[in-house]
Amino acid sequence: LSLIALTIKNRRLQKKLREEKQNSSALKRITKWTNLISNNPASRLVKVLQDVQSGKKVDMEVIAELLSRIKSHKGGDFYKPELNADEFAKVSEDNKAFADYLKYNLMNNFFDTSAGSSSGSMNLNRSNRSGSLASDKAASDKAICDILRTVSDKSAVGSPMQNFRPDSPFSKSLNNVDELLARDDLWIPNDAIKRLENIGCWNIDPFHVSSISNGHPILTIMYNIFTTDLDLGTHQSGGMLKRLKINERKFWKYVQVIESQMRPENVYHNATHVADVVHNMLWLLRDGELAGRLGLCEWEVFASLFACMIHDFDHPGVSNDFLVRTSHKRAILYNNQSVNENWHVAQAFGLLNREDGDLAWDEEWTEDQIFKFRKLCISMVLATDMARHFELLGKFKARVAECDDACTDAYDPAESKDRESVLVMAIKACDIGTQGKKWKLARKWATIVQVSACITHPRLLPTPPFLSLIRLMKRRRRIQKSWKLTFHFLQEEFFSQGDKEKMLGMLPSPLCDREAVDIVKSQIGFIDAVLFPLYEPLSKVLPELKSVLAQLEHSKSMYEQELATRRQNSREKSKTR
């Protein structure tokens, strides 16, 4: 028996060593983009101070440049990556659409608004206002109102799929809170909520959860979390609501109201995405050991999950830049600063302060409890604005730059600001981590956008060469109709925004022009330039994330294979012509 036990133990040890070796090799291949993103004044300042401390000779030109930055009072520029590097030039040459996205969407807070692609779009928009659009102001106002529902517009959104699939998961949402609260027949009782056997598994399929719950993935995920005894650090998720003195009846009603406001026509920013982000945070808190390593108190654990649930509340399906350039009410309200994110968190907390008190699940909390809870949630939700990505990432990397894999000295669990800093990076990782899932699921997320392009362009549908012309036309019409029935409700969120911008006489935002975007190349670029540099330093604080890094590497290799196959097919076709 002892020999058998020793053999089993040895096999487990060998398996663990193989996994660590695989994760280590994946990390070594990430250095190119991580170094590119790390090349900013803040990282150079840290390097200079370290050289001074160790007695090394310091480059005076570097010191002069850093002093110039400090005197200019442009503190945010300290975390601006130097995009003039040769590596970025190569990226721009190979994939200009993604390079523009990287520069003008993820870094627009580093640039003057009078420069770049955004300003070009703005100037074009203004010139049109003085021209054809200005000649018919009423038509222009109506067009903009049709494109974006404003703050006061809460009309129900009809899904085009309802005529074909009455039980469509995305056809159940309402957009009128008062109507929802007034009708008892619309509430889902707790005993009718589906139980999930794989709650807490990193690769849980949120699309499947949405399907089996009849379009209520947020409610299903949240209910399974807080009614199952999951170890989150020193706390258990089961019974947490009761211990925090949360009115459970009002809380579950609140969750359903949050879900009812997730617009079903959005291809990405919908209830399925929110449920996925909430569940990603659950995995980080438990398997990623976030709750244990940071020593999170119980209300911080709850706040982390709650912030994920509201982080895209009532998302309009267009970017902050679009709202700003069209002078939308939300952009005016929030002075062009993190427009969507400010709206999400403000409106979600506004529900707690309704006069009828029907959703006030925090009614037993003290003023101090509410203040601390809301402050943490605001910080986390605002951090999901990708325009702040490199600023937040630069600050985080500066803290963990010299850490070993354990990185126990970079953050002090006893300091609330340190805990908040890690939670801010955690929600960012949860928000954009779809490509870190198993390949089948990662490709499914990417396919959502890619399929919509094929629907709009029937010429991209496969054409069997052996069919006659008549049979070919019939088959293509049949395939096109089938694809429309299956995917029409996805609404092409990103390409749709580009179409709206063209209609208004604006330049399409990066990655929003259906005629210029290569989905596969963009996914490779996003993994390289955004996901690797985010997950790599975070894995120093949370070592379990190395498994996600390995999966990101696998996803990238699969996209590269797909790209290589496509290029090979293109070369073969050109030879046969």
* Alpha-carbon gap, residue 200 to 486, rounded angstroms: 29
Determine contact, residues 527/555, Cβ cutoff 8 Å. yes
Buried b (16+ CB within 10 A) or exposed e, 489-510: bbbbbbbbbbbbbeebbbbbbb
Least Cα distance to 401 among 97, 134, 48 occurs for 48
Tell me, what amino acid is at 538?
L
Active site residue 269: yes
Buried b (16+ CB within 10 A) or exposed e, 168-196: bbbbbbbbebeebbeeeeeebeeeebeeb
Which range of 18-32, 136-150, 316-330, 546-560 scores highest in mean pLDDT? It is 546-560
Q: If you search the block for the tokens 């994330």, which residue do you land on?
A: 545
Buried b (16+ CB within 10 A) or exposed e, 112-130: eeeebbbbebbebbeeebe
Q: For 232, phi and psi rounded to 5 degrees?
A: -115, 90
* Alpha-carbon gap, residue 69 to 563, rounded angstroms: 41
Give residue 507's pLDDT band: very low, low, confident or very high (50, 70, 90): confident
Span 427-453, pLDDT tens digits: 999 999 999 999 999 988 877 644 433
pLDDT at 70: 63
> Would the annotation count 85 as a binding residue?
no
Q: If you search the block for the tokens 């995920």, which residue do you land on?
A: 221
Helix (H, G, I), strand (E, B) or coil at 235: strand
Span 345-394, pLDDT tens digits: 999 999 999 888 999 999 999 999 999 999 999 999 999 999 899 889 98
**Taking the CB of residue 328, how many other CB atoms lie within 10 A of it?**
21
DSSP state letters, 412-476: -TT-HHHHHHHHHHHHHHHHT-GGGS-HHHHHHHHHHHHHHHHHH-GGGS---TTS-HHHHHHHH
* Alpha-carbon gap, residue 431 to 538, rounded angstroms: 14
In terms of DSSP bridges, do strands 235-236 and 231-232 run parallel, antiparallel, or are they unpaired? antiparallel
The CATH number given to 184-435 is 1.10.1300.10
Element (H, E) at 392: helix 389-400
> Would the annotation count 34 as a binding residue?
no
Determine contact, residues 228/198, Cβ cutoff 8 Å. no
Span 196-246, pLDDT tens digits: 999 999 999 999 999 999 999 999 999 999 999 999 999 999 999 999 999
pLDDT at 325: 87
> Would the annotation count 488 as a binding residue?
no
Give the residue with greater pLDDT, 127 vs 346.
Answer: 346
CA 43 distance to own-chain centroid = 26
> Would the annotation count 486 as a binding residue?
no
* Alpha-carbon gap, residue 211 to 464, rounded angstroms: 33
pLDDT at 557: 94
Over the chain, what is the mean pLDDT?
Answer: 75
* Alpha-carbon gap, residue 78 to 55, rounded angstroms: 24
* Alpha-carbon gap, residue 500 to 72, rounded angstroms: 39
* Alpha-carbon gap, residue 429 to 439, rounded angstroms: 18
pLDDT at 185: 81
Give residue 19's pLDDT band: very low, low, confident or very high (50, 70, 90): low
* Alpha-carbon gap, residue 61 to 82, rounded angstroms: 16
> Would the annotation count 86 as a binding residue?
no
Query: Considering 216, 235, 269, 328, which one is annotated as catalytic?
Result: 269
Q: Which residues pair with 235 in a beta bridge?
A: 232
Least Cα distance to 448 among 497, 486, 500 occurs for 486
Output the furthest CA–CA distance in the chain (Å, rounded).
89
* Sequence ranges of the domains in the chain: 184-435, 440-529+540-576
Q: Which residues, 6 or more positions from 49, have their beta carbon under 8 angstroms from its beta carbon? A: none
Span 295-338, pLDDT tens digits: 999 999 999 999 999 999 999 988 898 899 889 999 999 999 99
Segment 44-69 shows an average pLDDT of 74
Determine contact, residues 392/424, Cβ cutoff 8 Å. yes
Percentage helix, strand, coil, to 5, in the chain?
Answer: 65, 0, 30
> Would the annotation count 311 as a binding residue?
yes
> Would the annotation count 408 as a binding residue?
no
Rounded to two decimals, the pTM is 0.72
Q: Is 159 left (phi over 0), alpha (psi -120 to 50) or beta?
A: beta
pLDDT at 548: 96
pLDDT at 36: 56
Determine contact, residues 86/466, Cβ cutoff 8 Å. no
* Alpha-carbon gap, residue 516 to 97, rounded angstroms: 7
Rg for the chain (alpha carbons), in Å?
25
Q: At what angle do helices 493-503 and 137-147 cross, to 10 degrees?
A: 180
